[in-house]
Structure 1
Amino acid sequence: MKKLLLFAENCFVVIGLTFFMGGLTPGASADGVDTGLVPEIIVTMIRYFIWFVSALLLLLNGKRTLITMRRDWILWILTFLVLFSFAWSDFPEWTLLGNREIAQMTCFGLYIATRFSLREQVKLYAVTFGIGAIASAAFAIAMPSVGLDIDHVGAWRGLYGHKNVFGSMMVMTFLAFFALPVERPLDRWIKRIGIGGAAALILLSTSRTALVLAFTLLALMWFYRNYRWQGKRSIVLGSLGVLVGGAVTVGILTNWVALLTALGRDPTLTGRTYIWKVSLNYLLERPLFGFGRSSFWAPDSPYPRAISTYLSQSFRAPHAHNGFIEIALDVGLVGLALFLICYVSGFLKALMRAYGSKHPEHIWSLGFLTFLALNNMTESYMLRLANVYWVLFIATLLTVKQRMPIFEDEPELPLLTRSYRELPQVGKVREQV
C-alpha cells in the first residue's frame, strides 16, 4: 500500500510539472489564449486539481511545511507583495484574477521542496522532461500542424506554444539528465540517451538562445564535475575561468552589434531593446512598487500601445521580454530587490553544494539557477502566467537552503523524513548552513 501511495504521489508530481510546462495543452498558443487540442474546461479542472491536492498535502504535513517555509522568509515577503499588488494596480480585478497563478505555482513548488529530497526531485524532473521530449518528437512527426511552429519554417515546437519555449524546455531536459544520479548500469545509458536526445531537439527547435544556453550550461557543469573540491588546483582554475570569462564579456559588450549581425540577429534583438527602453521609462513613474502584477500589459492598458509606436502599430507587446524588468514592472524596485536577495543567496548555496559534493544531483541547483538568469535576459519566464520556471525556482531555492550535514561519502540524505539525530554518522561531517 505504501509503494502504491508513493507511486501515485510521483505520478501527481509528473502531471503537475507537465501542466505548468504547458505539456498538457498541445497546440496551445504561447500566450495561453488558445488552449489547443484540449478543451478549456479540462485545462481548468486540471489546474484546480493540482492546486487543491498540493495545498491539501501541505496542510496534512503542516509541521514539515513550516520548517521548509522558514528557510527563506524573504521569498514569502516577495510572494505576499505580488499577491497584494492588486491594491495599487490600475486594473485590480485583472491582477487579482491572475494572482491565482502565483498561488498555484507557490503551493506546488513548496510541496515539491517539502516532500522530496534533491535526488528525488532530479529523478522526477528527468522523467517529466523526458516524457515531454518524447511526446514533442511524436507530435512533430505524426502531427506537424501541432508539433511544428508554423511561423518559423522548419522549426519544431513540440507540445509547446513556440519554438523558443520548446528550446527552453529541452535545455532543462538536457540539464536534468546531466544531473541525474546513476544507481544502476542501465541509468548510465538512460542518462546518455536523455542528454543526446535533448541536444538533438534543441537543434531542431532552431532556437539560437537555447543553443547558446545549452553550450554555456555544458561548460559550467563540466567544470564543476571535474574540478570541484580540489584545493589550490580549483582555485587556480577558477581564477583563470573568471579572467577568461571577463575577457569574453568585455569582447561581447564591445562588439555587440557585429556579433549579433554575424549570428543573423537584429541588433535590437527583434525590437526588444525598444520594449526595454520604454518600459524602464514608465517604471520611473512608479519605481517603488510598480504597476501590480500583469497590470502593465493588461488588455486596456495604454502602455503596450505606447510601445507599439516604436515598433509597429499592428504589434502589441505581450510582455517585457526580460524577466527582471517584468518583476520590476509588477512589484517595483522593492520587489526586484527582494527577488535578487533570494536569487543571489540561493545561487551561493547552490555553488557551495556543487563545488563540495560528489553527487551529480547537486549540479542541478547551480545549473538551473544559472539557466533561469540567462534565459530571462530576453524572455519573461518568471512571474508571467502559470509556468514551470517559478515552480522550479521555489522548489530549488527552498531545497538548496536546507540546513543539513554533508558527508564526504554520505548516502542520499532524506529531506525531512527523519530527524538529524537519526542520520548515519558516516565519515567526516561538515555543517553547511
Structure 2
Amino acid sequence: MTVLPRSRPANALIIDVCPTTVLAFLTVMCLLLVQWIGAIAAAGFLASGCLLVVRRPQLVLVELRRYWMVFAVAGWCLLSVLWSQYPGVSLRYGIQLAVTFAIAVAIANRLSPATVLRVLFSAHLLAALLSLVFGRVREDGLGWLGIFGSKNAFSLPMSTLMLCAFAIMLDRGQPRSWRVAGLAGFALGSFMLIQAQSAGQMLATGAALAFALPFFMGRWLTLMQRFLLAGVTLALGIIAGMLVIALQDQIMTLILETTGKDATLTGRTEIWKIAFQEIARHPLTGIGFQAYWVPGNPGAEAIWEEFGISNKRGFHFHNTFISNAVEIGLIGVAIQAAAIFGAMGLVVAWAFREPRAETVFLTALMMRSIVLSMSEVVGYTQFDLATVLLVAALVFGIRSLRERRKPAVWRPAPATAPAASPAEPA
C-alpha cells in the first residue's frame, strides 16, 4: 500500500523563510538598537552575525580567499598591535573589527543586493518608528535623539532610511507594495532627519540623492545618451565644486550662522593641528588601532579637558582620513582609501550599466560616505553599521565585476526535427 502525500489547497498561503536573510535582519537591527538597549543588543549582533557566518562553514575560507583585499583593511589594523602604544586595546578592538568584517562579507556574499536593500530598509524603518514612539529630545531642546545616544547617531540611520526608500520608490521594477512603503519611509526619514537638526548630515544626504538621481533617469536612455548624461553630470559637479571653492568664505559664514557653530567648526581646526603633530611623529604606521582616545593618554586627556568631555568617549578628529592616519599611519589610510574609493568606482560603474534600486542605493551610500568623511569618521570601526555597509558595498562591487568578467557558457542549440518533405505524388 502506497501513502500519497497530502496535497495543499490551491489557495493555501505559503511563506518561504530564508535563515540567512533573517539573521542578516537581526544583525542590522541589533546594531541599530545598541545605544537604546546596550549590551544585550551588542550580544545579539555577535550571536546573529556569527551564526550567519558559521551556518555555512564551507564558505568561510572561500570568502577569505575571494575577498582578501577587503580583509586587508582589518588585517592592517590588527597588525598594528605590534607597534601600538596600547597593544591590549589595539588587540581587542582589532579582533572585533575582524569579526565585523567577516559578518559584513558573509552578508554581502551570501545574499543578493536586492535582498540586502530590503533588509536595510525594513530595519531602518522599524528604528525610525521606534524613535517616533519612544524617542526623546536633547536636553537643550535642539534636535531629536530618537532611540539613539546623540544627534549624529540618530541622523545617520535616518539618512540611510531615506537613501533606501529613495532607491526603492523610484524603481519601477519593484513591487507596488514596496514602492508605496518606500514613499512612506522616505517621508518619515526626511521628517526625522530634519528634527535631528544635523546640518552636515542633511547636506551629505542631499548630495547623495542628487548624485543618484541621474542613474534612474538613465534607465530610459541609450548607451550613448547615458554617456552624455554622465558627462553633463560630471561637468555640473566640477562647476559646483569650483563655485564652492570661489565662494567658500560666504558659504562657510552661511553654514556657521545656520548651525550656530563657531568659526573653527566646533574647534575642529584646532584638533586637526594636534592630529597633524601626532601623524608627524609616526607617519607610516601610526600609534596603533584605537590607541589614541584612551584614558591616560596625555594628548587625549588634554583634548577631553579642553572640550569638557567628562565621560572620555565619543570624540574623534572629525575627519576620517586624518583620524585614521593618527592611529594606523599613512599606510593604513592608503589601504582604507583604496577600499572606499574602489567601492565607489565599482558601484558607480555597476549602476551605470544596470540602474536598479540596489545599485543606485549603493552609489548614493558611497557618495554620502565620502562627503561625510571630510567632517566625520565614517569607517572603519568595530561593531558599527556604517562599517558593515562600506564593506558590503565593496563586496557587491567586486561581485559585479567578477560576474561581468565571467566568460559566457556556450551551449549547443537544441536539435530540431528536419522539416517534413512534401508528399510524393501517387
Q: TM-score range by the shorter chain?
A: 0.7 to 0.9
Give the deviation of 1:259 after TM superposition: 2.9
Segments of structure 1 that go 5 or more residues without pairing to the other structure are 27-36, 141-146, 408-415, 426-433
* Helix, strand or coil at the partner of 1:295: coil
User: For 1:56, which of 45, 54, 58 is the aligned residue?
Assistant: 54
Residue by residue, what CA displacement relative to the aligned partner does 1:98-154 show, whole Å, maximum 9, x if unpaired?
2232022111101111111111111111111111111111112xxxxxx3222x415
Mapping for residues 212-361 of structure 1, pairs under 5 Å: 212-227=203-218, 229=223, 230-231=225-226, 233-255=228-250, 257-263=252-258, 264-307=260-303, 311=307, 318-361=315-358
Partners of 1:260 and 1:267 within 8 A in 2: no
Q: Give CA deviations for 1:281-331 in whole Å, capped at 9, x if unaligned.
A: 111100101011111111121111343576569695732222222221221
In the alignment, structure 1 residue 18 sits paired with structure 2 residue 18: no
- 1:358-394 deviation per Cα after TM superposition (whole angstroms, max 9, x unaligned): 3222112211111112222222231344210111111
The equivalent of 1:107 in structure 2 is: 102
Cα distance in 2, alignment partners of residues 257 and 25 from structure 1: 32
Please say which of residues 85-94 and 250-259 is displaced more in the overlay.
Answer: 250-259
- The answer to whether the 8 A contact 1:89-1:291 is kept is yes
- Find the counterpart in structure 2 of residue 208 from structure 1: 199
TM-aligned CA deviation for residue 405 of structure 1: 5.0
Distance 2:20 2:111 in 1: 10
Question: In the comparison of the two structures, how many residue pairs are matched?
Answer: 389
| Correspondence 1:41-80 to 2 at 5 A | 42-43=40-41, 45-57=43-55, 59-62=57-60, 64-66=62-64, 69-71=65-67, 73-80=68-75
Structure 1: distance between partners of 2:398 and 2:21: 23
Instruction: Kindly report which structure 2 residues correspond to 1:18-167, keeping only aligned pairs within 5 A, or say none.
Output: 18-21=29-32, 23-26=33-36, 37-38=37-38, 40=39, 42-43=40-41, 45-57=43-55, 59-62=57-60, 64-66=62-64, 69-71=65-67, 73-140=68-135, 147-150=136-139, 152-167=140-155
The one-letter code matched in structure 1 to 2:119 is L
CA 45–262 in structure 1, closer or farther in 2 if over 3 Å, else same: closer
Q: 1:248: Cα distance to partner?
A: 2.7
Aligned to 1:32: none
Structure-2-length-normalised TM-score: 0.82
Structure 2, unaligned stretches of length 5 or more? 1-13, 414-426
Q: 1:400 to 1:25 in 2, by over 3 A?
A: same
Indicate how the Cα distance of structure 1 residues 117 and 260 shifts in structure 2: closer, same or farther if over 3 A, else same.
same
- TM-superposed CA distance for 1:269, in Å, is 1.2
Paired residue type of 2:137: L
Deviation, 1:50, is 3.1
Q: CA deviation at 1:333?
A: 0.2
Could you tell me which amino acid in structure 2 is paired with residue 161 of structure 1?
G
Distance (whole Å) between structure 1 residues aligned to residue 129 and residue 233 of structure 2: 37
Runs of 4+ aligned residues of structure 1 deviating over 4 Å after TM superposition are: 308-317, 404-407, 419-423
Go from structure 1 to structure 2 and tell me whether the alpha carbon gap of 1:43 and 1:281 turns closer, same or farther (over 3 Å shift).
same
- Alignment partner for residue 191 of structure 1, among 179, 182, 186? 182
Match of 2:392 among 391, 395, 400: 395
Contact 1:381–1:387 (CA under 8 A) maintained in structure 2: no
Partners of 1:110 and 1:313 in 2: CA distance? 35
Contact 2:113 2:358 in 1 (8 A): yes
Question: Which amino acid in structure 1 is aligned with residue 270 of structure 2?
Answer: Y
Q: Quick one: distance in 2 between partners of 1:422 and 1:82? A: 44
TM-score (norm 1): 0.81
Output the CA distance in 1 between the equivalents of 2:238 and 2:42.
50
Within 2, Cα distance between the matches of 1:351 and 1:159? 33
**CA distance in 2 between partners of 1:320 and 1:268 (Å):** 13
Q: Which amino acid aligns with 1:321?
A: H
SS at structure 1 position matched to 2:55:
helix
| Greater mean alpha carbon deviation, residues 286-295 or residues 181-190 | 181-190
Give the secondary-structure state (helix, strand or coil) at the position aligned to 1:190: helix
Structure 1's 56 and 314: CA in aligned 2 closer, same or farther, altered over 3 A?
Answer: closer
Tell me what 2:423 maps to: none
Give the Cα separation in 1 of the matches to 2:41 and 2:355. Answer: 41
Which letter maps to 2:296? D
Aligned-CA RMSD value = 2.9
3-state DSSP class of the match of 1:266? coil
| Cross-structure match for 1:376 | 373
SS of the residue corresponding to residue 157 of structure 1 reads strand
Q: Deviations over 1:376-417 (max 9, x none)?
A: 22222313442101111111101111135569xxxxxxxx9x
Larger radius of gyration: 2
Task: Please give the alpha-carbon distance, in whole angstroms, between the structure 1 residues aligned to 2:204 and 2:283.
Answer: 31
